[in-house]
Structure 1
């Protein structure tokens, strides 16, 4: 079959038309891909913004709940501390009223001829203050008794300081032999030994009564 010039020009025209169609399809495809990409970006941004919004809302709600829980816990702790303080005061009063009627007789059995006691003494002098739960005395002896619901080493240290300034702040007792005692409803063994080593009588509850824990070898420190 012979190809003449007309056939060549026709084929070239068809090829050019095919190229145009291919270019058109390519442009449509590219446009479609761009639109799809833009739509994907838009949806991603919307989803990201929505996620950020939800995250912020959840964070704010978590913070609010945390602050509310913290406030409730703080209120409960304050109330608990108040109730414990009241309970501690009542226990202290209970122990003190157990010690009061027994203290004179307890020391008399130890050969200390005290015959009277004074409760809840408070003195201020020379810019200092002194508070004594129980003061057991006779003409030449005095025993300062500190009463606690649960006795601690800190209580003993504070009572030793109290004994150091007793005669200075209460000079009418300057000529007596002053001694110290600590009493508690609960007295840990190590605390009792600490008081013993520092020359203090240690009183504790035993059943329905109060006893002196110090053995017969004990010799009280005098101030």
Structure 2
């Protein structure tokens, strides 16, 4: 049979265990808050990266168009230089127009 001292000792142990549990719950709660904050920061970074990626994609597309335009201009320039020479050569050598 438990004596009153045993009951008081058990209650003291229970109170100590309750304090430890409360402390652990506070720590877990704090960790959850920190994790939630980190998740928000991570989500914001992903959003910024996504926006930067879209901007980079637009810039690459525009650059591709510009390079294509330069290629076309260079081709026209080359044709402009070569065509008169070719007409002269074809006319002189082969009698062609």
Q: Greater CA radius of gyration, 1 or 2?
A: 1
> Any stretches of 5+ residues in structure 1 without a counterpart?
1-10, 105-116, 118-133, 135-223
For residues 102 and 13 of structure 1, what CA distance do their matches in structure 2 show? 128
TM-score by length of 2: 0.82
Corresponding position: 1:72 with 2:50 = no
The structure showing larger relative contact order (alpha-carbon pairs under 8 Å, at least 6 residues apart) is: 1
More helix by share: 2
1:47 CA drift (Å): 0.9
> Any stretches of 5+ residues in structure 2 without a counterpart?
none
1:44 CA drift (Å): 0.9
Corresponding position: 1:44 with 2:35 = yes
More strand by share: 1
1:90 CA drift (Å): 2.5
Match of 2:16 in 1: 25
Q: RMSD of the TM alignment (CA)?
A: 2.2
For residues 29 and 80 of structure 1, what CA distance do their matches in structure 2 show? 75
1:95 CA drift (Å): 0.4
1:73 CA drift (Å): 2.3
For residues 32 and 81 of structure 2, what CA distance do their matches in structure 1 show? 72
For residues 42 and 77 of structure 1, what CA distance do their matches in structure 2 show? 52
After superposition, the C-alpha distances for 1:21-72 in whole angstroms (9 at most, x for unaligned) are 1111121111111111111111111111111211221222122123212211
Corresponding position: 1:34 with 2:34 = no
